[in-house]
Structures are given as structure tokens and as C-alpha cells.
A and B are shown apart, each in its own frame.
Chain A
Amino acid sequence: MIDRLTAALKHARADYVEIRLERTWSAAVTYRGRRLEAATASEDQGGFVRALTRGGGWGTVSFTSLERLEAMVARAGELSRAVRLDPPIRLADVPPQRAEALLDLDGDVRGVPLAEKKRLLEAYNGEMLAVSDRIVDTLATYRDEVSEYWYVNSEGTVLHELRPEVTLSGTAVARRDGTIEKGLESLGLRRGWRSVQDRAAGFREAAARAVRLLDAPRVVGGTYPVILDPELAGVFIHEAFGHLSEADFVYENPQAREMMTLGRRFGTPALTVGDNGAAPGLRGTLPYDDEGTPTQDTILIKDGILVGRLHSRETAAAMGERPTGNARAVSFRHPPIVRMTNTYIANGQGTFDDLIRDVKLGVYACGAFGGQTMLENFSFTAAYGYMIRDGGVAELVKDVVLAGNLFQTLARIDRIAGDFRWNQMGGGCGKGGQYPLPVTEGAPHVRIEEALIGGDVAP
């Protein structure tokens, strides 16, 4: 295969060409309530070519018909020549890489019969349904894949990888009269079959929480000291800050560049944030990005000061900085764009109790149903929360929506505990129509001295 790809590179008549090829075997099982909704095995394959000619822009082609590889490469060259661009696109130097990176499959999912995957999910789904007769519906999904991946470019990089992934998720819906509540469990790993065994407890807990939420009051909207659990803190740093640190947002926009000037203070000295595509065993981890750049740990905020950002080769060259291995594509259907990998808030000091000890009235926001940012504004829906009263965790509350302005909120993070953990969740990140990209987030408990909690927005 490598020889065929290397030979095909010559057909572009371009200054720079890269070819990415993927063959993905995947299986998916879905339960809805007691009913198996689907159990399928699929095979997806295709390629992506990107070419750059002198004075031209990017020419890209994606395709599923591999037998026409040479024609696709030629087409990418033509498309690049059709885009006249001044000043031209430059790529930061990356030494040619040659690697055979077959990641540990941890029990190759391709060798496990579909019926066995069904049985596993049926058991986990059954755990949720058995929690209470208030559980009226569930959604449980199992998904696995192994992707064989080839990448070559005209600078001599040749990569061949085997990339495994497995995700499990469960949503339990509890209902009493008109009140409907949900509990969520999610697990995503760049591993295999062995890593999804013995996971029943998480599914039971999700269902039990949905039932408990039926009796929980809605949180009263207002501003509070807010403690984020590691899961929500991770989602927060990814959504609210991470996307701004992606250099494609700033590199050609002087106003954005000014806003994201290195050296600007973003938070208190307690705050350090980074993105580590090389962290072992996580879902966002890969040895190389989709431009053949080795991944690395990139510090973005150090002791409260903006010190770095995430780059592709193009954005790095445009800003005179170094590529960070963050050019990623969700599949062969898309070009690589600047993306996060495993984004984290670095560990602080002390315990969760230290964070709430002096809080008279506050909110402990846990888990995430979702989050969205519009640049400096964000909104996150916590899965559930607790009131904090007189330094202790008090009653369970629901409909906890955290909304705010990024800059104000980062500056108000005043305490960070020493209980860091990675959130090994499923789902994924979306950007520019590319979803779901496997990423991981990690954080310890984090305290925001004052934040707006929506929910029961009392008129």
C-alpha cells in the first residue's frame, strides 16, 4: 500500500502533496428501553488528498473509490492551481517521519462476535432498567472501531498506524407524571474489548441519579460561588478556552491576534492549562497528527499567563511559531484543521473540602449534559448539582446551567484542588462540520468565586 501511495504522489504536479487513506471496521449496538434498536457491523474506507502549488491555495479531494487514486491526486493539484493566492500558504518545517505505529488493541474488537457485544450492552442496559420502575426509558450504545491508517507526503513522511477506539454510553430517563429527568454514563477509550468489561456500576449510578433528580428542586438562578467537578471543569476548559487557543481562529485576524496575545494574563497564578496529544492511553492520543507532525504536550496558560497555542503547519508558519501536532481530521472525508487532543487544567493543591470550607452559599456543579461557546460567551448544562451551605455539600438540585463570559470566568477561578483526573468520556468535539473527533479532557475540582447559574430564571 505504501509503495502505491508514494508512487501516486507524483501525479499532482504540485509543490506539496499528502495522501491519507483509512480503512475502518466498526460495530455498533444500540438499546432503547428493553428493545435492541440496532446491531450492525460496517466497513468504511476512503482517502483524502491535499495539494499545494506555488501561488495557489489548498486543493483537496476526498473519495471512496480507491481504484482511482492517481486521478484523485491529479485533481487535487488542479484544484490548487485554480485558487490563486497572494501571499501564498507556507508550511512550517517538520522533519520527515517514518513510523509503523500499531497501537495496543487491548483485545482486538474485530475478533469479538457481534452477538457478544450485544450481550455486554444488554447487561449494562439491564442494570439501568433494574434500578427502579421510575426508569421509563433508556438509551445505551456500544461502539467500537479499528482504523488502519496510512499517511504519506511529498516531503518523505510515511506513516502506517492501527488506531482502536471503543465507547460505551448510557442515558437513563426517569419519569413521574410530567417530570422527566435524565442520568448519563459515558466512557470512551483508545483501547479495545478488555477495557469495557466490568462497567456496570457506572450505568447503575446514572439511573439512580435520574430517579433522585425527580425529587430534586430546580436550582434558583443567580450568582454564586461555583465549584466545578473534574468532569465539568474539563468540559469548561475545552469549550470555553480551548477553542480560542486554536491558532486558525487568530492567525489571519489581527483583532483576534491582539485578543490572544501571548503574555496576556488570563487567570490567577493558580491556573495552568495545556493540551497533551502524547499523554498515554487517552482517547485524544495519537503518535502523529494528520499532517504527520509528532504530538506533544503544549502548555497554553502557565501560572495564569497565556504562553502558547495549538497549531497546524500552516498556522505555525503564518505566526512564526512551532507546529504542535494539532492538525486533525475526523475522517478521510475532511481536511485536517487545528483541533484539541487531551486538554487539561493542571493539578492544584488541597482537597475538595478545602474548596468549599469557606463557602456559605454556593453551587457544586457536576457532570455535563452539554456545552456550547460563542467565543467569549459560553453555556454549560451540568448533569446535576448540589447546593453548598455553610461549608458543606447540601441538597441535590437540577437544571444547573452555567453561563458566562470566558475572560471574567477564568479570572475568577480562585482555587484549584489537587485531585486531577482525566474524564474518559465518549462523544467528541465538533468544529467546522467535523464531528465527533475523539478528545479527552481532564481537570481537578475548580472553584469560581462568582458565576451565573441559570436554571430557574425567576422573572
Chain B
Amino acid sequence: MIEALLDRARRRADGGADALWRRVERTTVAFEWGRLKAAGAAEEAGVNLRVRHRGRVGVAGSTAADATPDEVVARALASAELGEEVDLRFPGPAPLPAIAVCSDRAADASLDALIALGRGLLARLEPLERHGCRVNVTVERETAETRVANTAGAAAAYRSTSVGVSAEAWRIAGDDVLVIGDAWDGTDLPDANVLAGLAASLEQRLRPALRVVAPPEGALPVVFTPAGLAALLLPVTQALSGKAVLQGISPLAGRVGEQAFAAAFSLADDPLCAGRSASRPVDDECTPSRPLALVERGVVRAFIYDLETAARARTESTGHGQRGIFGKPVPGYTNLILGAPPGSGGAPAPAPALGGGLLGQVTDGLLVDELIGVGQGNVIGGTFSHPVALAYRVERGEVTGRVKDAAVAGDAYELWRRIGGFGSDGRWTGSRYAPSVLVDGVAVARR
């Protein structure tokens, strides 16, 4: 399909074309409230074509198996006719890094094996039921075939697998609703240690949550767990997108080489992390993958670009083009790594202590695991104010109970300038690797 498309496009679009074809098969088993409830299969195949004609760029996508190459090319050309001029150059052939993103074991796992995996996790979560919890578990396995190619002669094809396991414990007591969840994902099936780690993670956060205590108030030290620091990191990652720079809304624009954060703060994007679902040898626009330092020791180093934003910004793509079947490519992160890269400090324990050893520095403050409303409002500006979804009070270095009815607020850029320390509990949360972070002087309000 993709060759036929590019062949037609080459003849009709004077500035070349590129295309992505992807076929995905997903198998999901869902345990609701402790019972296996459903098994699902999904398969989807589609193609996305981009053409450049008379300097203008257009795209078209289709999942219709009966769509002819001529139809798709015609739609892309119609889209290009309306488009603005972009000096978009398709990259030529280049060697790709060797990175294994496919596990045959995961691809070949039977439905029964996936069900057994879910049951194994459920069994480990049984102790939670003694605390009045009900548990949901989901296991998902995806296999994908991806082909990308362009009229400049670049072409790549790879198979990938992705396995996700998630668990969620619910406890409702009167009008108090407590939900604690965790998830793991990787290219291979999880081993017993992963399941034990998930169960330990849920239990570890459930026990101190059973007791509700009054929240503190004022400008206080707050430890954000690897999951809880999303609100702090989101403005930074948005600001480090080349797209935000082009739009003139990135507070970090024009600050490459400048010390914008504390020296302890380093952030990188690594599409070549072994075993990670977001890894890939090539991006969705034929640009070979490579790790990219975004911030090094507090100094802004780079922004992420895809081909089009790079062309507009008169720079090179960093290999961050992501595209779906519909719409055009956009810059997107792969594996974001905060602080020291995974594996550099030896293998972590399956479930390191809450707060990663930072709580000892807190006399009175909060441990924040989840906030409500992250991503709402004027994110890129950096200021945030979120009620807590799951947070604990810390007194004299110890977690004393769960706090409700509290909100934390601040300016993310400013908080990253005064980091009190990183924990020793670095872990993956989705495609982000981070340890806990201690920040002093975070505004905590209660109601």
C-alpha cells in the first residue's frame, strides 16, 4: 500500500511525499471488582499520507481498506492546495539505531496466558480486600507493524509489542472515596517481580491512607512522588516543544544555554530505552531515533522538533515526529527521563519506601501522589493550583495519615529552581522516568 501510494504521489506532487502505514492488534482482558468480566480484541490498519506540492503541504488518512491510492493522493493534494508554504525536506536514507522493540514472547502470549497474568496480580492484591478495597485489574497486549517511507528514498519497517498491566483499588467508606492505582508497561510480559512490585506499591500507599488527618497550611516542604510530579513537569515539557516556541508561547524560548532551573534538574528524551513501549528505531517521519538532552544541570539545551516545526524554525528535526492515521505529524516525546537515567544507581527495590528517602528532611509538610485537574488552565505559564487527590501529611519525617480537602499551588518554573533533593526511588510512570522530588516553600491551602 505504502509503496503504491508514494509511487502515485511522486508523479503528482512536485515536492515529494511521505507516508506511514500502521497495523495494530490489541488484546485486552478486564477484571472488574475482582472478577474476570470481558475479553476484547481490536485490530486496526490505516495509512497516513503527506504530500508537498507547489511548496504547500497537505495530508490525508484512511482506514478504509477499499480506498484506492489515487483517492488518498487526491485528498492529500486537495488538502495541500489550501495549505501554507513550508520548506519541508524529506530526509534521505540513513542507518537506524539497533533497538529491540518487539518481544516474541509477548506477541505469542495466548489469551489464557494474559488471563493468568491478571489472575496472578489479583491474587497478590487479596490483602487489600481485608481493608475493604475492591479491585479492578486490566491486562493489555498490543502488537504493531509500522512502515514509514518517503520519496527521498528513506524507508523503515519494524514490529513492536507493548504490554500494560494496571490495578486500581477502591475503598468507599461513607462519603469518603479512596482510589489507589498503579500500572506497569513494557515491550515484554511482566515477571513475578513486576507483579509483586505493583501489589506492594498499592498496599504501601493504602495503609497510611486509611487514617485521615488534618492538612497543614502555609508555605511548606512538599515531596512529590514520581506520579505526583506531573503538575510540575507538564509546563516544562510543553515549553520544550518546538511547536510552543514557534507559537511564541514558550517561556523557555530563546533561552538555550541559559541556567533556567536548579543545577540538580536534568531532563532528557530517550527513544532508545530498552524494554520501553515508547521506544522506536525511527520516528513517524523517517528520522532516525536518538536520545536528546533537553535540560542539563539546569541549563536549557534543546527543544523537540518534527520535520514541519523544524522547517519553520529553520532547524533540524530531532526525530520527534508522531503521527496517527488522521491529521498531520506533531512533535511528541517518547521516554522522558528526569534526573539520573534508569539503571545508573543499580536496580531499585521492587517497592522503595514512599518518598524515596526524602521524608526525613520534612518536619511538617506533604507527600503528594496525585493532584486533581493537572493539565487544565494555562499550563505552559507555569502557575498551578490543584486540590489533592491522594496526599499524605508528613510530620517529623513520618507519614501520619492521608489529607483531604487541601490544595497545593505554585509556579512550576520557580519551584524547579529550588529543588530540595531527589529521592532514590526512580521509576517509570507510563513513559516518564523520575524519582520523588522535594520542593521547599510550596503553598498549601486547606478548606
B-binding residues in A (CB < 8 A): 26, 28, 32-33, 35-46, 57-67, 75-76, 79-80, 82-85, 89, 114-115, 118, 136-137, 173, 175, 178, 180-182, 221, 223, 252-253, 255-256, 258-259, 333, 335, 369-381, 399, 401, 403-405, 407, 452, 454-455, 457-459
Q: List the one stretch of B168-176, B345-353, B421-429 in contact with chain A.
A: B168-176
Other-chain residue from B111, B179, B377, B444 in contact with A374 (beta carbon distance below 8 A): B179
Using A59-B39, A64-B63, A180-B249 as known contacts, say yes or no to A369 and B377 having CB atoms under 8 A apart. Answer: yes
Q: Is B248 engaged at the interface, CB distance under 8 Å to the other chain?
A: yes
Contact B35 A85 (CB under 8 A): yes
Other-chain residue from B37, B65, B111 in contact with A67 (beta carbon distance below 8 A): B65
Contact A79 B39 (CB under 8 A): yes
Using A60-B41, A80-B39 as known contacts, say yes or no to A43 and B64 having CB atoms under 8 A apart. Answer: yes
Contact A60 B38 (CB under 8 A): yes
Chain A residues closer than 8 Å to B29, beta-carbon distance: 83
Other-chain residue from B40, B84, B376, B389 in contact with A371 (beta carbon distance below 8 A): B376
Q: List the one stretch of B42-50, B155-163, B262-270, B355-363 in contact with chain A.
A: B42-50
A85 to B29, CA, bound (A): 13
Chain B residues closer than 8 Å to A372, beta-carbon distance: 372-374, 376
A404 to B372, CA, bound (A): 11
Chain A residues closer than 8 Å to B176, beta-carbon distance: 376
A28 to B64, CA, bound (A): 18
Chain A residues closer than 8 Å to B177, beta-carbon distance: 259, 374-376
Q: Is B104 engaged at the interface, CB distance under 8 Å to the other chain?
A: no
Q: In the complex, which range does the number of interface residues on chain B fall in? A: 35 or more
Q: Across the two chains, which residue of chain A brings its CB closest to B404?
A: A377
- Some 6 contacts from A to B, beta carbons below 8 A apart, are A79-B40, A82-B39, A83-B37, A255-B132, A369-B376, A454-B387
Q: Is B412 engaged at the interface, CB distance under 8 Å to the other chain?
A: no
Q: A79-B111, A221-B385, A405-B404 are in contact. List 18 more A-B contacts (CB 8 A).
A: A40-B59, A42-B61, A43-B67, A45-B63, A60-B40, A79-B40, A85-B36, A115-B81, A180-B380, A181-B378, A256-B170, A379-B373, A381-B376, A399-B385, A403-B407, A404-B447, A405-B405, A459-B218
Contact A259 B172 (CB under 8 A): yes
Contact A39 B83 (CB under 8 A): yes
Q: Is B134 engaged at the interface, CB distance under 8 Å to the other chain?
A: yes
Using A38-B327, A253-B33 as known contacts, say yes or no to A459 and B443 having CB atoms under 8 A apart. Answer: yes
Q: Is B409 engaged at the interface, CB distance under 8 Å to the other chain?
A: yes
Other-chain residue from A63, A85, A258, A373 in contact with B44 (beta carbon distance below 8 A): A63
Q: Across the two chains, which residue of chain A brings its CB closest to B326?
A: A42
Q: Across the two chains, which residue of chain B brings its CB closest to A23?
A: B64
Chain A residues closer than 8 Å to B389, beta-carbon distance: 374, 377
How close is B181's CB to chain A, nearest CB, in angstroms? 11
Q: Is B386 engaged at the interface, CB distance under 8 Å to the other chain?
A: yes
Chain B residues closer than 8 Å to A371, beta-carbon distance: 373, 376
Contact A58 B37 (CB under 8 A): yes
Chain B residues closer than 8 Å to A369, beta-carbon distance: 376-378
Q: Chain A's interface: helix, strand, loop or mixed, by majority?
A: strand
Contact A403 B447 (CB under 8 A): yes
Chain A residues closer than 8 Å to B60, beta-carbon distance: 40-42
Chain A residues closer than 8 Å to B327, beta-carbon distance: 28, 38, 40
Q: Is B383 engaged at the interface, CB distance under 8 Å to the other chain?
A: yes
Contact B404 A33 (CB under 8 A): no
Q: Is B112 engaged at the interface, CB distance under 8 Å to the other chain?
A: yes
Q: Mark B92-110, 1 if CB is under 8 A from A, else 0.
A: 0000000000000000000
A327 to B370, CA, bound (A): 30
Using A62-B43, A180-B249, A255-B172 as known contacts, say yes or no to A82 and B407 having CB atoms under 8 A apart. Answer: no
Using A173-B249, A374-B179 as known contacts, say yes or no to A66 and B377 having CB atoms under 8 A apart. Answer: no
Other-chain residue from B62, B65, B447 in contact with A66 (beta carbon distance below 8 A): B65
Contact A137 B247 (CB under 8 A): yes
Chain B residues closer than 8 Å to A403, beta-carbon distance: 372, 387, 407, 447
Chain B residues closer than 8 Å to A404, beta-carbon distance: 387, 447
How close is A167's CB to chain B, nearest CB, in angstroms? 15
Other-chain residue from B58, B62, B386 in contact with A43 (beta carbon distance below 8 A): B62
Other-chain residue from A39, A259, A333 in contact with B174 (beta carbon distance below 8 A): A259
A374 to B372, CA, bound (A): 7
Restricting to B110-131, which residues have a CB under 8 Å from any CB of A?
111-112, 115
Other-chain residue from A58, A89, A114 in contact with B79 (beta carbon distance below 8 A): A114
Chain A residues closer than 8 Å to B36, beta-carbon distance: 57, 83-85
Other-chain residue from A44, A137, A373 in contact with B63 (beta carbon distance below 8 A): A44
A452 to B405, CA, bound (A): 10
Q: Is B32 engaged at the interface, CB distance under 8 Å to the other chain?
A: yes
Chain B residues closer than 8 Å to A373, beta-carbon distance: 372
Other-chain residue from A45, A66, A82, A137 in contact with B112 (beta carbon distance below 8 A): A82
Q: Mark B167-196, 1 if CB is under 8 A from A, else 0.
A: 000111111110100000000000000000
A335 to B41, CA, bound (A): 11
Other-chain residue from B40, B45, B83 in contact with A64 (beta carbon distance below 8 A): B45
Chain A residues closer than 8 Å to B174, beta-carbon distance: 259
Contact B447 A457 (CB under 8 A): no
Q: Which 6 A-B pairs have the closest CB atoms?
A: A370-B376, A255-B172, A459-B219, A379-B373, A58-B38, A457-B409
Other-chain residue from B33, B65, B84, B370 in contact with A252 (beta carbon distance below 8 A): B33
Contact B84 A255 (CB under 8 A): no
Give the one of A37, A378, A407 with max B CB within 10 A: A37
A39 to B375, CA, bound (A): 27
How close is A213's CB to chain B, nearest CB, in angstroms? 10
Using A36-B82, A377-B404 as known contacts, say yes or no to A65 and B445 having CB atoms under 8 A apart. Answer: no
Q: Across the two chains, which residue of chain A brings its CB closest to B385?
A: A454
Contact B79 A38 (CB under 8 A): yes
Q: Across the two chains, which residue of chain B brings its CB closest to A84?
A: B36
How close is A137's CB to chain B, nearest CB, in angstroms? 5
Contact A41 B83 (CB under 8 A): no
Chain B residues closer than 8 Å to A381, beta-carbon distance: 373, 376-377
Chain A residues closer than 8 Å to B39, beta-carbon distance: 57-60, 79-80, 82-83
Contact B38 A59 (CB under 8 A): yes
Q: Across the two chains, which residue of chain B brings its CB closest to A248?
A: B32
Restricting to B16-45, which residues have a CB under 8 Å from any CB of A?
29, 32-33, 35-45
A458 to B407, CA, bound (A): 11
Contact B407 A41 (CB under 8 A): no
How close is B227's CB to chain A, nearest CB, in angstroms? 14
Restricting to B202-217, which residues have a CB under 8 Å from any CB of A?
none
Chain A residues closer than 8 Å to B409, beta-carbon distance: 221, 454, 457
Contact B372 A39 (CB under 8 A): no
Chain A residues closer than 8 Å to B179, beta-carbon distance: 374-375
Chain B residues closer than 8 Å to A26, beta-carbon distance: 326
